[in-house]
């Protein structure tokens, strides 16, 4: 038991670029040591150093075209073992008590799907015990274990053996949020190489402005639509568990962005940010017969081939035929064509056209669904910038256009200006002024 004034419990996650060299690891350790000195109990989640995960994937690819998913997960998990142990050693060197744990040792169990496992449960008894011993607990991100006696879903079909699984690219974010939820942490901080969440990618839009606060739903759309700052699953998990997440820079002492339920949403600019995604290709089936069962004949085989179909547009039919367009991730276009070619023939469609040189650009904001005029303003802005819109889709909090990739830059600049995203929301002043 702790005393009457328990120390705040903070989960901090450091991304790969924050840990890319020994010097950066020491810098991170100093930062952790300062937070410890301020009296916090700390659980630190570490990503693999720099580009380690990419390097390991490349190495496996050099050995075989088709690496076994189980072996690949066991291999990739070592990246985070390296970083967790090195951060722990760097803390020891500063005289800070610390211990590193693998995901399994930290009590993180998963559903057993190699390469894209979901966290099934967090049993943080060991983490608590180490905190009670006065340790900073460093947890290897991006991984958990499945199987073992008494648990379901081991990858090899039995439940007797323990397997290591990874959580998908960027999964250390999810490790951090899951631990924060399980430990009922007071704060969950994601340290990265940018200061926080911006109205648009600051490397691409000069006038992009950092947001003080953003709602879960808006952040989820931004992440899904291509903003790379946080893993989508981590935002979902934060939303479901009500974990307030702070995204902030590991390189400078500057206030970050809070992701949380946003009570001021009504008073804000209805558009909070832009997102874009270049990993898109467009597929059109020309003059497919307009009769029941056609959509199933097209999309069932794509689903069976695990191809992610996104925006779907079916035009009004003429003379019993209709065009059917949709988008897929660019890397999956080849496979989609292979699946679709025989279907085009079977259905008696006129043909199949594909375009890999498209991109998606989205405006995102929680107030969009009941604010008339925003769609029109988006389309008008793109027209004025001579950007042709090829497809449109909307959700409660987002409007997305598929455009020619070459026009993406022009589209982003024009939309950032038209929706006045460079101008601070009056209500943000208070949020930005809060203590870091």
Sites of contact with ligand ASP (CB under 6 A): 16, 47-48, 53, 79, 141-142, 169-173
By CB under 5 A, the count of residues binding Mg ion is: 2
Contact partner at residue 172 from ligand ASP, Mg ion, none, CB < 5 to 8 Å by partner kind: ligand ASP
Which residue number, 170 or 212, has a Cβ lying nearer to Mg ion?
170
Minimum distance from CB of 133 to ligand ASP (Å)? 27
The widest CA-to-CA distance across the chain, in whole angstroms, is: 79
Backbone phi, psi, residue 368, to 5°: -65, -35
Minimum distance from CB of 65 to Mg ion (Å)? 23
Backbone phi, psi, residue 387, to 5°: -105, 120
Which residue number, 58 or 350, has a Cβ lying nearer to ligand ASP?
58
| Three-state secondary structure of 143-178 | EEEEECCCCCCCCCCCCCCEEEEECCCCCHHHHHHH
* Piece of the chain touching Mg ion by CB under 5 A; list 22-30, 39-47, 353-361, 419-427: 39-47
User: Which strand (E) or helix (H) includes residue 248?
Assistant: strand 245-249
* Sheet strands side by side (includes 351-364): 312-314, 321-328, 273-289, 351-364, 398-404, 389-395
Minimum distance from CB of 131 to ligand ASP (Å)? 23
Contacts 24+ apart (CB under 8 A), 335-341: 335/305, 335/307, 336/281, 336/283, 336/302, 336/305, 336/307, 337/283, 339/301, 339/302, 339/305, 339/307, 340/283, 340/285, 340/298, 340/301, 340/302
Residue in the shown chain whose Cβ atom is closest to ligand ASP: 172
Minimum distance from CB of 113 to ligand ASP (Å)? 16
CA angle 233, 235, 238 (to 5 degrees): 110
Pick the closest to residue 199 from 19, 345, 418 (CA basis): 418
Contact partner at residue 171 from ligand ASP, Mg ion, none, CB < 5 to 8 Å by partner kind: ligand ASP
* Piece of the chain touching Mg ion by CB under 5 A; list 45-53, 68-76, 346-354, 374-382: 45-53
Who's near 6: CB < 8 A, 6+ residues apart?
Answer: none
Which of 11, 13, 16, 323 touches Mg ion (CB under 5 A)?
16
Minimum distance from CB of 60 to ligand ASP (Å)? 14
Which residue number, 18 or 327, has a Cβ lying nearer to Mg ion?
18
- Report strand pairing: 98-101 vs 213-214: unpaired
Minimum distance from CB of 295 to ligand ASP (Å)? 35
Residue in the shown chain whose Cβ atom is closest to Mg ion: 16
Q: Does 50 bind Mg ion (CB under 5 A)?
A: no
Pick the closest to residue 57 from 84, 86, 78 (CA basis): 78
Which residue number, 80 or 277, has a Cβ lying nearer to ligand ASP?
80
Chain position carrying tokens 């670029």: 17
Could you tell me the two tokens for 182? 């399980």
Minimum distance from CB of 236 to ligand ASP (Å)? 15
* Piece of the chain touching Mg ion by CB under 5 A; list 30-38, 42-50, 352-360, 382-390: 42-50
Contact partner at residue 367 from ligand ASP, Mg ion, none, CB < 5 to 8 Å by partner kind: none
Could you tell me the two tokens for 390? 């090829």
Contact partner at residue 142 from ligand ASP, Mg ion, none, CB < 5 to 8 Å by partner kind: ligand ASP
Which residue number, 136 or 190, has a Cβ lying nearer to ligand ASP?
190
Minimum distance from CB of 16 to Mg ion (Å)? 4
Query: Binding residues for Mg ion, per CB under 5 A?
Result: 16, 47
């Amino acid at each position: 038991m702790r005393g009457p004034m328990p120390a705040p419990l903070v989960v901090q996650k450091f991304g790969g670029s924050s840990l890319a060299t020994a010097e950066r690891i020491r810098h991170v350790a100093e930062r952790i040591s300062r937070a410890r000195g301020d009296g916090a109990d700390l659980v630190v989640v570490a990503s693999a150093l720099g580009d380690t995960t990419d390097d390991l994937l490349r190495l496996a690819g050099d050995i075989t075209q088709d690496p076994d998913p189980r072996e690949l997960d066991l291999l990739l998990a070592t990246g985070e073992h390296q970083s967790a142990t090195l951060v722990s050693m760097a803390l020891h060197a500063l005289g800070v008590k610390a211990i590193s744990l693998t995901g399994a040792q930290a009590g993180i169990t998963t559903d057993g799907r190699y390469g894209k496992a979901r966290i099934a449960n967090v049993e943080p008894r060991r983490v608590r015990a180490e905190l009670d011993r006065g340790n900073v607990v460093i947890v290897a991100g991006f991984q958990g274990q499945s199987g073992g006696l008494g648990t379901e879903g081991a990858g090899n079909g039995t439940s007797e053996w323990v397997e290591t699984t990874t959580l998908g690219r960027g999964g250390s974010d999810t490790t951090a949020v899951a631990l924060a939820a399980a430990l009922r942490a007071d704060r969950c901080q994601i340290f990265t190489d940018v200061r926080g969440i911006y109205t648009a990618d600051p490397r691409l839009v000069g006038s992009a402005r950092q947001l003080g606060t953003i709602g879960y739903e808006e952040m989820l759309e931004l992440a899904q639509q291509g903003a790379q700052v946080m893993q989508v699953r981590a935002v979902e998990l934060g939303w479901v568990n009500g974990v307030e997440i702070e995204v902030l820079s590991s390189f400078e002492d500057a206030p970050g962005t809070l992701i949380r339920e946003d009570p001021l949403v009504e008073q804000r600019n209805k558009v909070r940010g832009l997102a874009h995604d270049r990993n898109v290709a467009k597929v059109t089936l020309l003059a497919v017969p307009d009769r029941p069962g056609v959509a199933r004949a097209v999309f069932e085989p794509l689903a069976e081939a695990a191809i992610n179909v996104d925006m779907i547009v079916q035009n009004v039919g003429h003379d019993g035929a209709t065009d059917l367009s949709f988008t897929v991730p660019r890397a999956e276009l080849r496979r989609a064509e292979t699946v679709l070619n025989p279907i085009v023939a079977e259905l008696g469609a006129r043909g199949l056209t594909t375009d890999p040189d498209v991109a998606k650009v989205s405006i995102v904001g929680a107030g969009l669904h009941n604010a008339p005029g925003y769609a029109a303003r988006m389309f008008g802005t793109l027209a004025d910038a001579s950007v042709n819109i090829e497809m449109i889709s909307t959700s409660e909090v987002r409007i997305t256009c598929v455009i020619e990739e070459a026009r993406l830059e022009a589209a982003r600049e024009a939309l950032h200006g038209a929706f006045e995203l460079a101008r601070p929301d009056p209500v943000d002043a208070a949020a930005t002024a809060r203590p870091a």
